Structure 1
Amino acid sequence: MITGGKSYVSSPPAFSNDAKKLLICTGSSVSIFSTSTALQISELEGHTDLVTSVIVVPASSKLLNYCWTSSLDGTIRYWDFSVAELVKTITISLPVHSMVIPSLLSKSSENDEKQPDLFAYVSVDGSQGKEKLPNTLCGQIRKCNLTKSRMVGAVTLAETKKPEFVTSSPAGEYIGIKDKRKLRIWEVPTKDSERVFYKKIKLHHTKKITTFAFHPTERIVAAGDATGRILIWRGFGDKTLCVRDKSANEDLMNIDDGRAGVRGEDDADSCTTWHWHSAEVKVLFFSSDGAYLYSGGKEGVLMVWQLDTEKRKFLPRIGSPLLYYTSSRDPSISTISCSDNRIHILKMPSMEIVKSISGIKLPRAVPEVLDGSCNGLAFNQTSGVAAICTDNYCIQFYNLFDDREIAEVQVCERNHQPVDEVTVTISVVALSPDGCVMCTVENRLPEDGIGGLVSLKFWVCGSQSTNFSLSTIVYEPHRNASISEIAFHPTRHMAVSSSYGGDFKVWVSKNAIEQKDQARPINGWKCHAVGSYKKKPLTAAAFSVDGSVLAVAAETVITIWDPENNVLVAVIGESLEPISRIAFIGKSDYLVSASRGSEPQLSVWSLSRMCVSWSYKLHIEAITSTMGDSFFAVLGLFPKTSNESTLHDVDGVILLFKAEDPVPVATWFVRKARGGGLAFVHLNPESIEGNTSDSTPAPELLAYINNDHEYVIFSPHGDQLDERGISLRENHVMPEETGRLGYESIYGELADIKPLNNLNSPASVLPSGRPWETIFSGSSHNLPPFTKLCSVFLESLLEKRTTDVE
């Protein structure tokens, strides 16, 4: 079994101490990427649920590549990530949503000869065993002794309605959480122990606080709210947290004036407000010297504010809302995490994006008027590549076997807009069986009933396997009706588009240049034929395996056509509800259809007898069939009235059938099935390590993608896939790079220099008359070091004399 499609942005990532590696929380594991190549190096596996935080231990004489991780599985683990080895596991039996270890950041702990106990502050879900009432406080801020592997039972810093994200100051002096419209901040004791007193303060605001950050050196905290405002509190905690004598504290309590912007009795000297963002602020981070503040949010723009002057500059057009900003110990590199499951590596201070780590894109927003009629997922069954519609009007090509993005095609040239209203959507994407042609349908929704537009676009693959360029645009291909399906001919460059307006059109390439190993269409596409059936809406279309038959669903009936002559051959029975999916079952004479509505139905039709063979009352989300035999698989949805709690959130089922038999061959229960996809894919035997047999057929596997774009690939017939999948993934994991140091990191590797005392070469014994004219010529990075040049250069300037010594 091969799994993938995990989120890279569920939690903030962390840099290694040398900034050459980036540790990313991906589902129940931690993936380690190279910052120079943006490719995966290794993986930390051991957690059984979502990993919520990863904290790298600062470099010391003994600890160089160690980290702590927390998870919803109720454990905290200690790793040596240089060798991907688990060192220690601490079980706290409560789901950990966030964790900080302030003492790792404290400078005092580095100077202590006797290292004290190491404490972590965790945000946990304490609702286990409690009755969940409307006002139940589920979130708790607890303390854990990592050295002794136990929770400090007597210490609960706070209780909140839900677990909140814990933030630590850069020096480990303070920790805090956001709680609706206020900040709750605690001072971490200098010498932490299990029994200490915590000083705490609260800072209030009129709007919901979404994020906040501590200044690295001064008593300053910045917070962002849901309206896009940034608040800067200066001198927070001077009365409560600052250590002074009693008389000084009494004097501070008597000073009430001069606190501009501070609300009520909040313990702060002043509070200023900045406003540039138009939506909620999600990212706040101070630079290492504290002179600048980074902010970002839904606009997809990274802002940099100068703290003293409020001057700003920005990195625009990132293309997706920002979630996290992460800095490293190397001031020239940092990252920003975006909601489209992508992490950009930035070169600082110019904020140039040098590399991107791209996971599978999250589902796109679909307007209600198009809900149920969009097909934003297509598969290339011969290569295991999925084409996915994304929110930024792109098609992402994702290799399911390698679990990485291989290309992205911009379908609609539109910048990211931080608005909730969707006016343009890609409703259909389809790929030809050979992967050379892609077809997309773009819907521009009307405003007040005016201005709607449907565009059909054909894309042709270039020299690279995923380099698509636009070939043809057809505006309003079916008048003002939407397109329901795009089906490609299995062997020719021909496609069929069916529409809800009551007609279908056959599209062919104008020209095809036959090359030695491929046929690539050029010069665009044109309409070859038009067909309809009693002006009924055409809801689905499919070609047979050999391309000799075309099936088009006309609402509740299936029409059979000769695609070459555009002749109606037959009409198959009538279903109770409109048909949404049809597919031919391999090389057999069976056809499968699925209808939606109040009485959904899965039906298998016999083309030889022109009648239904068998059927089920089942809501079908996706259908796929094998190319050779008579097997097919469907993704079914459970009724909403079913008791999902007893099935552990299972809401769907994958059923494998043989066309002649209504009894399923195999059954798998799945989650998040609504909006998911299903396809048979072929694993190339050449990509399997150790397989050199030319006669071995390509294994036919089943790929399932849920509505969160998490996927699994498995053998539907129970064949062993684990070893094949592991060897396949290992072939694409990049080895760890060995960095260059000193001279080589600046000028490159030194050139080989032959010694001057080589007696086998007579010419090298006699020095040149003017050697200084040539020894410094050439590129600077190819020059030998100065220590090797100096003796030769000085020797050429001195006059040699022969003397007789008596």
Structure 2
Amino acid sequence: MKGGQSYVSCSPSFSNSGDRLLVGSGTSVAIFSTTTALQVSSLDGHTDTVTSVIVVPGSNIVTYCWTSSLDGTIRHWDFSLLKCIKIIDLKLPIFSMVIPSLLSPEEEISEKKHFAYVCMQTGNEKDNRPKLCSAQIRKCNLTDFHKLSTITLKETKKPHPLIVSPCGKFLGIKEKRTLHIWKVPKVDSNSAVSKKISLHHTKTFSVLAFHPTERIVAAGDVTGRILIFRGFGAKNFQENDVLLNRTSMTDEECKPGVRQNDDAESCSTWHWHSDAVNLLSFSSDGVYLYSGGKEGVLVLWQLDTGKKKFLPRIGSPLRYFVDSLDPSFASISCADNQIHILKISSVEIMRSISGIKPPLSSQETCESISSQAAFDRSSGLVAVQTDNYGIQFYSLFANRGLYEVQVCERNYQPVDEVTVVVTMVELSTDGSMMGTVEVKLPEEGIGGLICLKFWDLDSDTKRFSMSTLVYEPHRDAHISAITFHPTCRMAVSTSYGGDFKIWVCREETQQKDQTHRNFSWMCHAVGSYKNKAMRAAAFSADGSVLAVAADTVITLWDHDKNELIAVVGETPSPIGRLIFVGNSEYLLSVSYGSTPQLSVWSMSKLAASWSYRIQIEAVSCALDLSYFAIIALIPKSKERLFKGDGIILVFNATDPIPVASWSVTKAKGGSIAFIKGKTSQTLLAYLNGDREYVLFDPYDKEAHELNMTMEDDLVGLEENGQFGYTSIYPELPAFELKRNKTSSVFSGVSNRPWETIFSGSSHMLPPLTKLCSEFMESLMEKRTSMVE
């Protein structure tokens, strides 16, 4: 199962009946019900990001649409039947597509040949490889496609979105400080060349929109200004060889606000936005102009008077505004991966389509931000930080946002400077407790504040409510980690200041008329080790031992007595993550810095069992097994070899040989976790740096079919263990999974199996008859006989 894709990578489109909203979602088109805001189906077939979704207009029973993608194809769908009717392969990435002929009157649509205008990456004629930073706008015959038209309307250094007028007569793009507008010919053909005009400005344009009936184009710039060009093309765009405007336009006094003698009657400027205008759209009747930007406010301008109305506090920068055929509602797409269904008459949000929130934009502002997501393994939820000082709980199985917890009660304005950041979120094993850390950034080095908050899950509402707030829990030092006890209401926080604190939760005395339980957390003990920075902590599976990382060593504590039990080993770099591997005796540590290292420690021997010199991004352990999974970052020099920038490895703690591996992309900032599936099976969840995720069975050989590339050869990993005979006998179980499943795992195959074929335990070796034949075959050179 896949999910978490962006819903705002391209403009959505309403169905003709208005009861469906078609949204580009990664490589597919998600179809949502506008009544319930829930996904009802999807169109799957593209192999890369969908860049355009265009519904064919008509009666309510017409359910056709066109889509384009970076995979270089244009597809024609019947989205009611979820059927692809036609595929046109242009063989080069398509960044934007419009089909002007579909906007003609309904009686003319059936008589026309349909042509699409596409903005696509340019390819070299010899090897057809994409050029860097080069794009072209071309025509494509959708009705009778043989090859892409050789006519190029415009070549640009980078792709630009194509905008078509609602009447289908004009096509435009914005390029730096210029608007390029083409007139689409009435009788479209492969050889027809459109007339073009250019409108200029002193600032860089950011967006444009056409009036539905009049020759008016609106354009927003990066400073927040909106320019309204009226009567554009009156001189150069002719109909029946007659000038559209017989008034002479050579006199600049007759064209107020127009620069460089551009072909427009007038240009007026409106200014309300404080930053770049990202959204512009005229109402279907042309009376109003909608605008939006980083402020998260939708502004309704009355076109004749310039008067304004507002829909404030949307909470995120605005991207797209789309009208439906029903003039009573529309949709707004926001940068936080949300789409709101808007009621036009009252200018209010009726319902929302909630995707997973994108990573924090303030990641570089505060170094103590943890990009690791928190997983509720029992219910399949993931908790992620949001820019508006909250925590979003997202269902991995349903692929939709459930609710948000507001960590900091503060009004969020996207245009304001970042002063408060939620740096960390952690959930208990059963998902009933949550810990968060928020940091108020100092202003000019003064006034910083760190807050630790504990939250409890309400059994009735299934939502978290804050139970305890602790200011400066570790003086002025930043909190490095939070971990919860597996069986009781206890937590540990560690700090870079050189100490850790054990917190216990107690139920407060209730009055007779109270039914809600109240909990409060208090500090039970404080510990430190040689004033070293405490960067990580972990409880053993039964909760009897607390392990705390003190710089490069691991300290073991009796948390009840707050006594130091032992000090284990030393690593070359500071330890940033500790985790006990299931119910086993092994403790896993991850070191960061110049010499990163993954180490597995035996608690019975208090010594290192095995280790890898490898950079780890995330790690997770199975709750009831001795397995753990890691996300390892691949050096840039070897990304081509691994077909990605990261690799997921699954280990048995007793063996340094990975039992499974998958190449992944966007591994930086990713997270991983074992979670319980709906049928009680264990699934592995991978959440990448863009918060897209995939759920798969790590013990199933078919897992690679979920768009994850299998890697059999683990070249480039420095490993300190020995290969066993299982490297050439993957069908023989080398361990027990303690479940009713076959142990179908993947192993890296040794290039010289005959040297290690007898390295397994004697009681586990296969019969000598089988070993001997396999051994002899490995020494012999195989020949392929040619039969004529």
- Tell me by how many angstroms 1:562 deviates: 1.1
CA distance in 1, matches of 2:109, 2:542: 77
Amino acid at match of 2:37: A
Structure 1 equivalent of residue 279 of structure 2: 283
Distance 1:138 1:558, change over 3 A: same
Give the equivalent residue in structure 1 for 2:64.
Answer: 66
Give the drift of 1:610: 0.8
Deviation at 1:371, TM superposition (A): 3.0
- Partner secondary structure for residue 672 of structure 1: coil
Higher normalized contact order (CA 8 Å, seq sep 6+, divided by chain length): 1
Distance 1:302 1:251, change over 3 A: closer
Q: Do structure 1's residue 644 and structure 2's residue 639 form an aligned pair?
A: yes
The structure-2 alpha-carbon separation of the partners of 1:132 and 1:526, relative to structure 1 and needing over 3 Å to count, comes to farther
List per-residue Cα deviations over 1:26-63 (Å, max 9, x = no partner).
011111000010011111111111111111111149x6
Q: Secondary structure at the match of 1:508?
A: strand
Q: Which moved more, 1:502-511 or 1:148-157?
A: 148-157
TM-score (norm 2): 0.86
Counterpart in the other structure of 1:700: 682
Q: Which residue of 2 aligns with 1:487?
A: 483
Change (3 A) 1:722 1:398: farther
SS of the residue corresponding to residue 138 of structure 1 reads strand
**Mapping 1:612-691, distance limit 5 Å:** 612-640=608-636, 642-648=637-643, 650-685=644-679
Q: Secondary structure at the match of 2:370?
A: coil
Q: Judging changes above 3 Å, is the alpha-carbon distance between structure 1 residues 8 and 513 closer, same or farther for their aligned structure 2 residues?
A: farther
Structure 1 partner of 2:12: 13
Equivalent in 418, 426, 433 of residue 430 of structure 1: 426
Q: Which amino acid aligns with 1:262?
A: V
Q: Kindly indicate whether the alpha-carbon contact (under 8 Å) linking 2:221 and 2:277 is maintained by their aligned counterparts in 1.
A: yes
Deviation at 1:194, TM superposition (A): 2.0
Equivalences for 1:198-209 in 2 at 5 Å?
198-209=194-205
Any conservation in 2 of the 1:77–1:90 contact (CA below 8 Å)? yes
* Shift in alpha-carbon separation, 1:599–1:248, aligned structure 2, 3 A: closer
| Structure 2 match to 1:738 | none
User: For residues 26 and 476 of structure 1, what CA distance do their matches in structure 2 show?
Assistant: 42
One-letter code aligned to 1:48: T
Asked if the contact 1:510/1:521 (under 8 Å) is kept, the reply is: no
SS at match of 1:104: helix
CA contact (8 A) 1:144 1:150 kept: no
Alignment partners' CA distance in 2, 1:113 and 1:382: 53
Q: Of 298, 307, 311, which aligns to 2:307? A: 311
C-alpha displacement at 1:459, in angstroms? 1.2
Corresponding residue for residue 54 of structure 1: 53
Alignment correspondent of 1:115 = 111
- How many angstroms apart in 1 are the aligned matches of 2:706 and 2:290? 45
Q: What do residues 416-470 of structure 1 show as CA deviations (whole Å, max 9, x unaligned)? A: 3233742211111011112111110001111111000000011111134641111
Q: Determine if contact 2:368/2:478 at 8 Å carries over to the other structure.
A: no
1:25 matched residue in structure 2: 24
* Aligned residue pair count: 703
Structure 1: gaps (5+ residues): 686-697, 726-806
Contact 1:375/1:429 (8 A) holds in 2: no
Give the C-alpha shift of residue 258 in structure 1. 1.6
Spell out, residue by residue over 1:52-83, the C-alpha distance to the aligned partner (whole angstroms, 9 max, x if none): 1111111149x611111111111111111111
1:451 is the counterpart of 2:447: yes
TM-superposed deviation, 1:91: 1.4
Q: Distance in 2 between matches of 1:146 and 1:122?
A: 11
Matched, 1:611 2:607: yes
Specify whether residues 716 and 723 from structure 1 end up closer, same or farther in structure 2 by C-alpha distance, changes over 3 A only.
closer
Structure 1 counterpart SS, 2:149: strand
Match of 1:715 in 2: 697
Kindly indicate whether the alpha-carbon contact (under 8 Å) linking 2:34 and 2:341 is maintained by their aligned counterparts in 1: yes
The answer to whether the Cα contact below 8 Å between 2:123 and 2:129 also exists between their aligned partners in 1 is no
Contact 1:205 1:263 in 2 (8 A): yes
Structure 1 contact 283–325 (Cα < 8 Å) conserved: yes
1:297-321 per-position Cα deviation (integer Å, ceiling 9, x unaligned)? 0000000001111100110000000
Matches within 5 A, 1:502-513: 502-511=498-507
**For structure 1, which segment, 130-139 or 619-628, has the greater mean C-alpha deviation from structure 2 after superposition?**
130-139
Q: Secondary structure at the match of 1:32?
A: strand
The match for 1:540 is 536
Cα offsets for 1:449-503 (capped at 9, x unmatched):
1000000011111134641111111000111111000100111111111111111
Describe the superposition over 1:719-762 as per-residue Cα deviations: whole angstroms up to 9, x where unpaired: 6679999xxxxxxxxxxxxxxxxxxxxxxxxxxxxxxxxxxxxx
Structure 1 residue 183 corresponds to structure 2 residue 179:
yes
From 258, 261, 266, give the equivalent of 1:265.
261
Partner of 2:569: 573
1:93 alignment partner in structure 2: 91
3-state SS in 2 of match to 1:313: strand
In 1: Cα distance, 2:81 partner to 2:244 partner: 53
Return the offset for 1:374.
1.8
1:564–1:334: structure 2 CA closer, same or farther, 3 Å change rule?
same
Alpha-carbon separation, structure 2, partners of 1:410 and 1:262: 48
Instruction: Supply the distance in 2 between the matched residues of 1:634 and 1:246 (Cα, whole angstroms).
Output: 71
Unaligned runs of at least 5 residues, structure 2: 708-788
Structure (1 or 2) with the larger CA radius of gyration: 1
The 10-residue stretch of structure 1 (143-152 or 397-406) with the greater mean CA deviation from structure 2: 143-152
- Give, as a single letter, the amino acid of the residue that structure 2 aligns with 1:656: V
CA distance in 1, matches of 2:605, 2:545: 16
Which one of 517, 520, 524 corresponds to residue 520 of structure 2? Answer: 524
SS in 2 for 1:103: helix
- Per the TM alignment, residue 249 of structure 1 is displaced from its structure 2 partner at its CA by 7.3
| Contact 1:360–1:709, Cα closer than 8 Å, also in 2 | yes
CA RMSD of superposed structures (Å) = 2.4
Output the CA distance in 1 between the equivalents of 2:702 and 2:133: 47
Q: Find the residue that maps to 1:330 and give its secondary structure.
A: coil
Is 1:340–2:322 an aligned residue pair? Answer: no
- Give, in angstroms, the shift of residue 657 of structure 1: 1.0
Query: 1:586: Cα distance to partner?
Result: 1.0
Amino acid corresponding to residue 71 of structure 1 in structure 2 = S
State the AA in 2 paired with 1:271: C
Q: After TM superposition, list the pairs within 5 Å mapping 1:576-615 onto structure 2.
A: 576-615=572-611
The answer to whether the Cα contact below 8 Å between 1:443 and 1:454 also exists between their aligned partners in 2 is yes
| Corresponding residue number in structure 2 for 1:745 | none
1:497-537 deviation per Cα after TM superposition (whole angstroms, max 9, x unaligned): 111111111111121799xxxx9962321111111111111
Q: 2: CA distance between counterparts of 1:262 and 1:723? A: 57
Measured in 2, the distance between the counterparts of 1:247 and 1:541 equals 78
SS at match of 2:645: strand
Assess if the C-alpha contact under 8 Å between 1:279 and 1:418 holds in 2: no
Contact 1:460–1:521 (Cα < 8 Å) also in 2: no
Q: Is the 8 A contact 1:506 1:529 kept in 2?
A: yes
The code of the aligned residue for 1:225 comes to D
